[in-house]
Structures are given as C-alpha cells and as structure tokens.
Structure 1
Amino acid sequence: MTGNSSEFYALRKRLVETRSLFIDREFPPEVQSLSPSGEFSRHTSIRRIEWKRPVDLSRDPKFVSATATRSDLDQGALGNCWFVAAASLLVNGPRQHFERVVPLDQGFDDNYAGIFRFNFWWYGHWKEIIIDDYLPTDGHRLIYCSNWEEKDEFWGALLEKAYAKLRGSYSALDGGKLVDALVDMTGGLPETILLSNRSEIPHNFYDLLWKSSQMNSLVGGSIYLPEGSARPEQRRANGLYMGHAYSITALSVVPWRGGSVKLLRLRNPWGRKEWVGPWSDDSSEIRNLPMEIKRKLNIVIEEDGEFWISLEDFLDNFDEIQLCHLQPDAISQELAHDTRKQNWSVTTFHDAWIKGVTAGGCGNAPYQKLYWKNPQFQVHLVDPDTTDNRQKCTMIVSLMEKEISKSKEIAIGFDVYEVRDSRSRPLDDEALPQTALIHRRGSGKYQFLRAVTKRFEFPPGYFVIIPSTFNPHEDAEFLLRIYTEKNVKSEVIDENNGPGTITPMVRDNMSTLFTKYAGEDGKMDYKELGIFLREATRVELKEEIRFNSEACRSLVTMQDKNKSGYLDWEEAKRLLQDIKIYLAVFRQFDANRSNHIDTLELGSVFNKLGFPVSRMVLTSIVRRYGGRNRKLNLDDFIIVMCKLVIMFDIFQEQQKKTGGPDDVAQFTRNEFLQYAMFC
C-alpha cells in the first residue's frame, strides 16, 4: 500500500496493540511480486522461493546495525546493480537525503509489527511506500540485496522491496539506469556524459566531477554490454564487468613520480570482484605509496568490492558517467563558471504525447507538419541573473518520460525557440517564420533515456519549449521541469475553446426540395433530414452523401433552437450552409478521398472552421472516436462538430443565467443530465 506517515503510524499502532504482523495485500509475498509473468529472475538458478521475515532469519535482526554505510549493500541474484549502486551513493551522501528515503524511526524493537515505510520521489511528488517485511529467500538466506558482512541488518533488503513495489515487481528492477534510481531517491536533476568519444568529453572533466562531488552530487559509471551478448554481465581480464554499473565514492589527486595522478574510488555493488589493474588493491602503485597517503586514501586491502582507478584507465574502460545533482548549480556546464546560485525557482508541467493528438515526433520527413502538434510551453524570462553582469537568464530544462513499461523504449528530446512576443496560440509551420526569432537550442540528439537535461543562458524574452519523441504516434506521459534563478511566467500554449468567425458562403434556395421531403407539418425529423441531405448534396456538391442516423440526429439538434426535435425550412437552410462549410474543410484534409482524416489534423481542421479547441478536448474526441488507427470518418466528424457547437451554446446560455466568470457555468444535476442527453 501507499500512504502517508500518519497512516503508517496508525496502522502500526493497531497491529502492535493486536499483536499482529502486517501482510501487504497490494504486494504480497507471492510469485506475482517477483514477476508478473510468474518466472523468476534470469540471474538465479533457484526454482523455489520462500518468503521469510527478518525475525525468521536472524535471532537479533536490526533495521540499521549502527550507522548505515555504503558497504551495507551487496547485490544478490537480480540484475539490479544500478539500484544497489545508487543506494550506496545515497547512503554515502548527505545524511538528511538518506533518512528522507529510509526513515530510521522503525525497526524490530517494541513497535515491531512487520510493517515498514520508505519514501521515493516519483515524477514530481514524494510518495510513501508501505510494505510488509516478507523477503524472498532460498529457505535459509536472502537471495537478493543483503549485507554480507552483517547478516542481521535488513534496511537494504527492505528498501529494495519497497522500490520493487514502486516499479511493479522485483523483475522490473532487472536491468536499468543508475541515474534513474538516483532521481527516484532524491528528486535531483539527472545528467549523463558519454565517454565513448574522447573528443566530446569536457576538457575539465575531472574538475567537473570534483566540483560535483563537493556539491553533493551523486555519481556513478557504467560499462556497456557488447551487442548480442547472451550473458547479463561479462568479466574483462582487468576485473571490470561489462553490462555493469559502479558507484563513484571518492576522488583524490596524489603525488606520483614527480607529478600527480588523478584517482577515482569505485565500488562494485556485488561487494566483491574488483579492478586488478594499476592502483588496484594489490598493485605496485598502492604498495609504493607513502603511509600517510595510504591513510588519506583509506586504503583497505581486502575483497570488499571497492578499489581505486586512475582517471585515464577509467576513461579507457567506462562508457558513460551518470550524475544526479541535488541542486541545479551542479549541472556540468554551470560548474565551469564556478558559481553558487541559491533559491532556484522551479516550474513543473505534467503532460503527455497522445497518439492522434499530440504525438507529433521530431519533425523528420515525411512528418514535418506533425511536429507542431507536440505540447508547447511558453516561458517568459523577465529579469537577468543577479550572480553576474552579463544580462543573461539561466534556464535549466529537464524532460522526463514517465515510465509505464520497461519493454517500450522511446527516444526523447526537446527544442527551445525564442519568439518575439507572448504566444496565445501554439507555434506551427506557418506562424514560425513570422514569430520565432531563432531556433535557439535543444537537448541535442534524441536519446533512449528516461530523462534528458540541458542548461541554457538566454537574454530576457519569450521562449517556447517543445518536447517530443523521436518517432511520431508514440504514446507516453512526461514531466517537464524548468529551473530559473528568478521567478518566471510560464504556461501551456493551447487553443481556446469556442467558435470564431466562419467565412460566410452563399445560401442557395432549396425550399422546393425541402417541401418534398418534409412532413405534413412542414418540418423534418432526423430520418427525413437524411433523405433530404442525400439529394441536396447530390445537387449542390455533385456527390451524394449518406449521413448515418446518429449524424442526422446531431445535425437536427445543432439547429433545433427551440428543442422540438424537428427542423423547419429556415433551420434546414442554415444547416445546409454549415454542412457545406464542414464538408469543404473535411475534404481539404482528406486529400486521398478516403472519407477519413487523421486525428492529428483535427486541431488544424477546427482552427480552419474558426472553432479552436484545447488539447484536453481534442484528447477526449480522439479517445472516443479515433479508434486504434486514430482516424475520424465523415459521420463522426459531423457528430463531433455538432456536439461542440451545441455544448458551447449550452454553456454560454447557462453562464449568462448564473453569472460569474466567463469560463464558469453552474448546472443542477437534472440540468446537467438533460443537456448531456440532448447532446
């Protein structure tokens, strides 16, 4: 279960009073918590899992034995070195950050009730995860994360279980990015520096790492697995493992042979298996160091998974550095200026790429026009930074895809445009040349990462951020964070709902035809209207259009101002005029005459008709009418247009009755139901 601390304390109190032990029904000690598919991890040969509580595994279990340290966590039979390395960095960092994730007011003392809680930053919010303390074992010992040296300590194993619950199962932790776990445990800003191309590595790389560590950034390194590898990890002759993540726990520069050497201390989350090259535990370099430097480096000659390595050897062997900055100042570009900013202002947007509405892709041919369908966010940078006199505004943009399925990889990125003035409507391929001064910058190459972050410096002005996936038509939710030194004005750029001005068209007299098909009362119901429109369109448009019954009902309702259920000649004449306008625009966007239009075109269609609608409304239309292929046929398009007109008229009428703001109208329950049925 998830909850808040007051809920946890109340539940624990009841359990203690009744001498009961908690069982989490949301994440039970059963096989589906290991893997929804029912299969155990590919990393273990264990075929029978027994769930046991720490009190069943130890005579004297401890939540934290003395003080939590980075050596408390050793990876077990699960491919989650990235998580274990991240947790080691967390406990090695500022104590307040660790204790926010791992509250220490719980354990196996008098208040023990088999219930524990942990906190994770989950896409913009701190989320408390409550678990029971049943842990997977082989019957005797833990099979996943544990403390090999102090087997009575269980905070690491319980943290791993809480994270597995957050992500859906233990198998969801089988493979991942170290920086993703760091963000989930801190809410910090992620940054990845690729090391495969030496020419692209910052010239002051070690200084960036040093300053990042001084600002409490959490840092790790990863080695890629060779493409096509059948094994999850592969050992190199030098002791390092490909397909593996290591935490970087310290840095140091030591005198060596008349000069100096830059060193990094790494920890293997396995708690063993170390680097065996220069500066490793048994190397001649370590043996020949003066004792005072050995003490400074805290050299421990034992198989504990921790070792020193030179910067050059690190760069030769590792493929990327992953950093999680606990404060925006530590973004690598910022460190080059060696400044410290305080009280950053952060703006957060939760949004989505929706197939058929906002999933426009990166703009590559032949989908150039779809790019402008992506969500757009306007930022007004007003005041320059106070930390220098360059009259620039720092803006850090971090785009994070909200994880739904690990099997679905999506490449993400964003662009930043500067525009001349405030935008009331989204940028498009027609408006851009007149409104945008320059495509300022972006996140760079689209990447298969959960998050991409970039720092910019711009003069005061208006800027539009457009996040996108690389390919169009990909559904995904995202979190956009914008950090600035000063408060800024920011908003989603969207269309305003409501009709504008439709270009008038000449109305032809079809009264004789109307009289032919109208009833004796001189009016038409929806069936009679369908027959009339079939012939009227053949005469007027040179094509016979057969609207289905639901479309005809909607057309009657749209023009039936007195709500009689029938149309007279004047109403039918206006209706024919509207239909001709709707058809003309529909055909414009149905170039291949398939009688369908792509839902990604709907925003442009509605704008052409003088009836712009917001993304919220567009999303509802697409999900109701778009189907799997995200196409709208003519009948459904007519129904949608009728509903928009009818509902807008109802809203306007009710708003005038009840008064209040322009965008608020009040309805009684019966009025709401009446209008809902009428539409």
Structure 2
Amino acid sequence: MDFDAVTALGSARCSTIPSAKRDRSWASHTLLGHRFGLGKLIAILVCPSQERGTMLAPGSALTLERGWQTARAAESLQNLKKLNNQDFSRLRAQCLSQGLLFEDATFPAQVSSVGPNLLPEDKLRRIQWKRPTELQRNPCLVVDGISRFDIMQGEIGDCWMLAALGSLTLQKQFLENVLPKDQGFQDNYAGIFHFRFWQYGDWVDVVIDDRLPFLNGRYLSVHPRTSNEFWPSLLEKAYAKLRGSYQNLHGGCLSDALVDFTGGVQVQFPLKDPPPDLEEILKAADRSQCLMGCSTSSQLKRNIELRNGIVQGHAYTITGAVKIRYKNGWKHIIRIWNPWGHGEWKGPWSDGSSQWDHVEPKYRETLLRNKDDGEFWMSCENFLEQFSWLYICNSTPVFLNFGDQHCATWSVERHVSLCSPVRVTGRNSYSPAGAVSTNMQYFIKVPDYDSKTYNVVISLMRKHAEDQQDAKPLKIGFLITGENSRVLKESFSMARDVTNYFSLSPGTYAIVPAANQEFEFLLRVFMKTQDYNENSNSLPSPVLPMEVPKQNRDSSYKAAFLRYATQGSVIDASQLQQLLNEVILQDEMTSLGGRFSFDSCRGILALMDLNSNGRLTLQEFGTLWRSLTKYMDIFSKEDRNHSGFLDVSELRSAIQTAGLVANEQLVRLMALRYGDGAGRISFSDFICCMLRLETVTHAFQNLAEGESRISMTAMEWLTLVMYT
C-alpha cells in the first residue's frame, strides 16, 4: 500500500479541481509499420500458442467492487436531488450574467446558520462573514491535490465529521462524488459552490455561497493548512447547511459522516470487547480500501489530552494498517490521524520512538513521517487499549469477506417505509411479540452458501425530520425472526443508523423494524452470495469480493481497466502506474520492495502495446493482467523468507517456474540490472524483468520459426529495442 499517497485532484499550481491524472500524449512511431513493424512483432510475442494461467492478485477484487460502486454512484448522481431546489449551474449563470456574487438566502450569513447555542450571545454578535477573495489575493479551491493534511479542526467540535473527511481524501472513488470538479476561483467564479452528500438512499446536491464565519479574526470552522486553499472550509459549510447549522456539527457520530460521504454501509466494532477476528477484519478493510475511523471514550470530559498524547472523547482517522518486519519477527501496526492537524501518540511506534531503530531503513523511510502533522503509528495492542470504537465503511461490506474460499458477491435490498410504535412490556423494554404483530415484516432468503464468516448485514437508518435541530433522540432497531415468529436476534441503539452483521444458516427469515414511536426509515439488507458470471445478462447489484479462486480470476481485469481508463477505452503509462500501485501492491509482501515507477510503467506498457501508440486497449491490458498475476504467484512462492525481495538463487528458481530459460551469466546480469545494491529484486522490478524476458523469448521463438538464429536489419533491431 502507498502510505504517503494522497488523492491528487489538483496540479502543482493553484487551480480549480483538475483531473487526477495528466494525460500524456505519446509520439506515434512511424517506423513501426515497416516490414514486420513493432506492432506486429509485439502481437506475435504476447499471444503465444499455449494458454496462460488465469490468476488474480490480492486486492484485485477491490477494483471490481469499485467498478460496480462507481456505476451505482453514477446512476444515482443522474437522479441527483437538489437541496432547497437550488440548481448550481442555473444560479451561477444568473450571477455571472448580472455581475453579482451569490448570496444564499437559504443559509444566510447570519446567526441562524451558526446556531443560537453554539457560542455565548456576545460572541455570536461578533461573528463576521468573509469570502476567500477578501482573505487572499489568489484563493484556490485545491492546491497541490487533496490530502488529509489540508485539514485543521477549528473551534467547532466536528472531529467526527473531519475524521470521516480525512478518510475520504484517501479514497478517490468516493471523493469524486462529494466534490464536483466544475467549480473554482479562476473560471466562472461567482461566489457559489456545491457539494454532494448521500441521504437516505439519494445523493443530494448542496449549494452554498463562499462566505465563511470568523470570530476575532480566526476561522470559526475548519481552516486549511495552506492559507489560500479553501476546499475544507467550503465542504464543511455545505455539510453544516445539510445538517441545519454549524451548531449541529458540534458533536456527532463518525459513522453518520462515513455513510453520508459514501452512500455505503458502516459497521462499528467495540474495541473493549472486540470480535475474535478483528485483526482479519481490519486487514481486509485496508486491502479493500474502506473508509476507516476510530474514537476514544467520552466518559471523561471531551478533548482532554492525556500524557500519552491521546485525546479523550475524540474521533480519529485510520489511514493504514501493515505487517512490518521487526527484529526477528513481524509486527502489526496501525496508522492514525488526528483531525486537529497536530497532537500525536507518544508511546511505542510513535515518531522518534526506539521501535523504529529495529526496522530496515528502507521501510522506515517509506512508512515514517516524523512531523507534527497529527499522524502516528501504534501497535494493535496499544490501539485496543487506547480506543473504544472502530468504524469501517464501504459501498458493501466487503471487509467481511475474509476467510471465504469462494467467489462471493454482496446483493442488497432496500426498503423505505414508516414504522409504527411497538408495545412496551416494561420500562424501556420492547415486546418482540408486539413488534412482530404490529409492524411490517421484510422477508429474506439466505442462500445455501458455505460462508466461513458473516453472510448478512442489516442496516436500519432513521430519517430525521426536515429541521434536524428539532430531531429528538429515538431508540430504534430491528428483530430477526425465524419459523413461528420466534425472535432469533435483535439489535437496538439510540444512533441514527443501527447496523449489525450476522452469520445466518440458509433459510427464510423476517426482519422487523421497531421503535417506541413512529418513524420513517430506510432498511438495507446485504446478503453474501456465491459466484459471478461475467457473461450473465443480469448483473449483481453490489460488489465483488476480496479473495477470488484462481479459476475465476481472469474476469476481473475488465473492471480494473474500466476504473482507470480514459473514457473507458485506453490507459496510458500514468494511469497504468496508478493502477499497479493501487491494485497490485495491496499485498503486504509485494509492497515492501517499493512502488512501480513511472519509467518502469512506460517500459511495461511498451512491451504490451500492440498498436504502438503509447496506450493499452482492454485486450492488451488483459494480456498484461494475466502475466502480472502469474508472476505475483511465482514471486510469493519463491520469496520463502517473506522479505519482499528475491535474491539471485530465488530469481533463478522463479525463471524456471515460469518456464523460461536463462543461463548463469544472464541471471547474474538480470540481478545486476534490476536488483538493488545487494542484488535483491523487489516485486515491481521483478515484474519488469520477467515481462521483458518473457517478451523477448517469445519474440525470438516466433520470429526464428524453429531456427537457432534470426535476421533483421539495423533499423528493425533499433525499432524493437528503443521502444520495448
């Protein structure tokens, strides 16, 4: 995994939100059509007669999941709801035509938008509203990309929202839904911006003006680390408008914000009494690029910083989890970020702690940022001691797929309805019989699927009143009944969103929403099913799994390609680099040796480029994908000490396993060319090495036609070696 990666939605200069990837035009190769041009040559060598194995790299099912998720989000965004019926494009055009800056009458620059109880009355009177253009000569929406390090919490106690936002910046597939690209301070600036949030089954577009609240010359809200970058403050204002006021952000549930930013399903795990498979859940969540956060106990006064640096009653972002070689063994450590933008853990594995002295310098330099930026590492043991809750969110609960031996998908059913109050049998107790008899029942059929883990997730979400300031606490939940309406399981909470996960035997069950007063709800039922056939006419509604058996692995390359391709047609070297680093390097061992460089990705692309145009089509990428996954399996097998590298003897064995031929001199040259100073070859360099060896070997075999030598002109030779 890339522990220092941030979502790059901006360029090095101040800008509106440009594309995350700069399109690189490649010069056409006019010589490639001569005789057996390079396109034909590569076509010969990358399509050998024997069928290649179909293998999938760990984490690649994530791309399938992201592909479905993106499609579902795009469909939902086409039916976008507009808060207060405000149309961003129409309002901006109107302001531009009149030469005016937008002023939002539905969320005015007044105390009502701040909230009457957020501050004492004398401070409320002193609040001033200022536009970014009044604060900076050159304001920007985004500067040098979007990162969690752009965020520094202000006076408002919305760490729960900012912790979710910090996680959102790490997951571009969700971030792009929340932060539209059609806005900024340079072109068509009219003092108007918009952001999108998911609310009870729909994406809602929230329009705001850019007047921000200040108290005594300081931001009342979140303030950016870079003085002229305003996306955090504007996004926070839009969320405050959605919630009714800034006051309604002062204290809240991290789980709510995770769902509002993704439209996904969140599960909370108690850390004082964690499930036995928590470590597997956490690792699966990290591999599948879930949004993750955690919180400390609020039994003591909020925002009290302990001597060890941990803040009580506070929410944090989980930004990574890795198994690292430590002394003579391995250590699981977790990376956490504080939305304050400073204030860090001072115990083991913190910045400057002695534990890092026993980590190889190469890994230490990759993982450790010795800065007071609010981000720190700690061991899993300390994590369980210091934090109370873990929150994980994704479009479907793929983080519960660990341990499955089959190709699993998650289907989802949605129901929106009104729940009647149930009969109470005593003080604050519900009558299951009353609930079953008076409320609507939703029947589900759990398929006969040999799941080794959890196979059903149920999420019941209460829909707040329009005026959220008047929303009252309400205990809601659901019952699961079997035959004869016997209650098998139940789950209740005072939260807006009651979600729980279960392992249910095959059969038919009824789900009964319940509360002690009437409320409108959204019920979502996620069920794990088996198998996915890409030739099927009916597509599964949610997502594909994390672990896929080898016989089903080949189908995933299409979703990977479509996720990163330009308009779904081709990928260039920059996009290939992002794909390889985000998908292939999800495996712990393969990521230890470093990332794929842009130059190595240009070389890989050239080897697979049938059309000789500097880009890969879906067919060309499919061939590359099969080679990548084959060599990933070989690398994992030959790296017997799990160091993340192959030495010369292991490289020799890997070449033999791949069915290729190289004498001792060639093996030594390959180790010299692709290895580090000690002759060790990382996974990314191993891929480059093996692809070139395989390519040149098949090229010679096909061109020689059984002979021991081939003949070509100098220009043919130069054309081949200078591009590939």
TM-score (norm: length of structure 1): 0.61
CA distance in 1, matches of 2:262, 2:447: 29
| Superposition deviation, residue 194 in structure 1 | 0.6
**Which residue of the partner structure matches residue 509 of structure 2?**
463
Cα deviations by residue, 1:518-568 (Å, 9 ceiling, x for unpaired): xxxxxxxxxxxxxxxxxxxxxxxxxxxxxxxxxxxxxxxxxxxxxxxxxxx
Structure 1 residue 92 corresponds to structure 2 residue 167: no
Correspondences of 1:15-26 after superposition (within 5 Å):
15-26=95-106
Counterpart for residue 127 of structure 1: 204
CA 1:389 to 1:397, structure 2 compared with 1: closer, same or farther past 3 Å? closer
Paired AA for residue 212 in structure 1:
A
Q: Do 2:422 and 2:431's aligned partners in 1 also have CA atoms closer than 8 Å? A: no
Alignment partner for residue 309 of structure 1, among 378, 384, 388? 378
* Displacement of 1:352: 3.0
Return the offset for 1:237.
1.0
3-state SS of paired residue (1:335) = coil
Q: Closer, same or farther in 2 for the Cα pair 1:34/1:6, shift >3 Å?
A: closer
2:461 counterpart of 1:400: yes
Q: Does 1:32 align with 2:112?
A: yes
Instruction: Provide structure 2 residue ranges, at least 5 long, that are not aligned to the other structure.
Output: 1-80, 530-537, 540-724
Q: Deviations over 1:252-308 (max 9, x none)?
A: 2222232222111110000001111111112122345331121231x1212111111
Q: 1:164 Cα shift?
A: 0.4
Distance in 1 of aligned mates of 2:397 and 2:386: 29
Partner in structure 1 of residue 354 of structure 2 = 284
Equivalent of 2:387 in 312, 315, 318: 318
**Aligned residue type for 1:190:** Q
* CA RMSD of superposed structures (Å): 3.0
Match of 2:547 in 1: none
CA contact (8 A) 1:397 1:454 kept: yes
Amino acid at match of 2:414: T
Paired with 2:122 and 2:403, the residues of 1 have a C-alpha distance of 45
Residues of 2 paired with 1:139 and 1:339: CA distance?
60
CA separation in 2, counterparts of 1:460 and 1:242? 43
> Which segment is superposed worse, 57-66 or 203-212?
203-212
Correspondence 1:334-349 to 2 at 5 A: 334-337=401-404, 341-342=408-409, 344-349=410-415
> Is residue 416–residue 439 contact of structure 1 (8 Å, CA) maintained in 2?
yes
Paired residue for 1:212, among 285, 306, 322? 285
Q: What number of residue pairs does the alignment pair up?
A: 447
Q: Is the radius of gyration larger for structure 1 or structure 2?
A: 1
Q: CA deviation at 1:135?
A: 0.6
Q: C-alpha displacement at 1:440, in angstroms?
A: 3.3
Q: Which residue does 1:625 correspond to in 2?
A: none
Shift of residue 395 of structure 1? 3.5
Distance in 2 between the 1:241 and 1:290 partners?
31
Counterparts of 1:314 and 1:43, CA distance in 2: 40
- Distance change >3 Å, CA 304–CA 376, structure 1 → 2: same
Would the aligned equivalents of 2:442 and 2:512 in 1 still touch at CA under 8 Å?
A: no
Q: Residue 57 of structure 1 aligns with which residue? A: 135
SS at match of 1:92: coil
Q: Is the 8 A contact 1:70 1:89 kept in 2?
A: yes
Given that 1:394 and 1:485 are in contact with CA atoms closer than 8 Å, whether structure 2 keeps it comes out as: yes
Asked if 1:257 is matched to 2:310, the reply is no
Q: What is the CA deviation profile of residues 346-380 of structure 1, one whole-angstrom value per residue up to 9, with x for unaligned ones?
A: 221222334xxx34358877956543455222324
Q: Which residue of 2 aligns with 1:234?
A: 304
- Counterpart for residue 439 of structure 1: 487
Measured in 2, the distance between the counterparts of 1:384 and 1:254 equals 38
Q: Please, which of 273, 285, 293 is the counterpart of residue 343 of structure 2?
A: 273
Q: 1:165 to 1:389 in 2, by over 3 A?
A: closer
2: distance between equivalents of 1:447 and 1:323? 18
Residue 562 (structure 1) aligns with: none
How far did 1:459 drift? 5.3
Label 1:338 to 1:88 Cα distance change in 2 as closer, same or farther (>3 A): farther
Q: Is the 8 A contact 1:272 1:305 kept in 2?
A: yes
Matches within 5 A, 1:150-161: 150-161=226-237
Structure 2 residue 240 is matched with structure 1 residue 164 = yes
Deviation at 1:328, TM superposition (A): 2.6
Whether the 8 Å CA contact 1:400–1:478 is kept in 2: the answer is yes
Which residue in the other structure is 1:352 paired with? 418
Structure 1 pair 245–338 and aligned structure 2 pair: CA distance change class (3 A): farther
Q: Which amino acid aligns with 2:303?
A: E
1:318–1:464 Cα change, 3 Å: same
| 8 A contact 1:383–1:393 mirrored in 2 | no
C-alpha distance in structure 1 between counterparts of 2:307 and 2:502, whole Å: 42
1:21 deviation in Å?
Answer: 0.9
User: Structure 1 residues 247 and 339, CA, compared in 2 at 3 Å: closer, same or farther?
Assistant: farther
> Which of 314, 332, 335 is the matching residue for 1:244?
314
AA matched with 1:410: L
1:182 & 1:168 partners in 2: Cα distance? 18
* Mean CA deviation greater in 210-219 or 476-485: 476-485
Matches of 1:121 and 1:401, distance apart in 2: 14
Inter-CA distance 376–16: structure 2 relative to 1 (3 Å threshold): same
User: Does 2:398 match 1:329?
Assistant: yes
Question: Which residue of the other structure, out of 177, 180, 192, is the alignment partner of 1:103?
Answer: 180
Q: Distance in 2 between matches of 1:389 and 1:370?
A: 33
CA 1:373 to 1:164, structure 2 compared with 1: closer, same or farther past 3 Å? farther
Q: 1:414 aligns with which of 473, 478, 486?
A: 478
Query: Could you tell me the percent identity over the aligned residues?
Result: 35
Relative to 1, partners in 2 of residues 1:374 and 1:158: Cα closer, same or farther, differing over 3 Å?
farther
CA contact (8 A) 1:393 1:459 kept: no
Deviation of residue 113 (structure 1)? 0.7
C-alpha distance 483-461 of structure 1, shift in aligned 2 (>3 A): same
Paired residues of 1:251 and 1:265 also in contact (CA < 8 A):
yes
| Structure 1 portions without partners, runs of 5+ | 420-434, 489-679
Q: Partner of 2:676 in structure 1?
A: none
TM-score (norm 2): 0.58
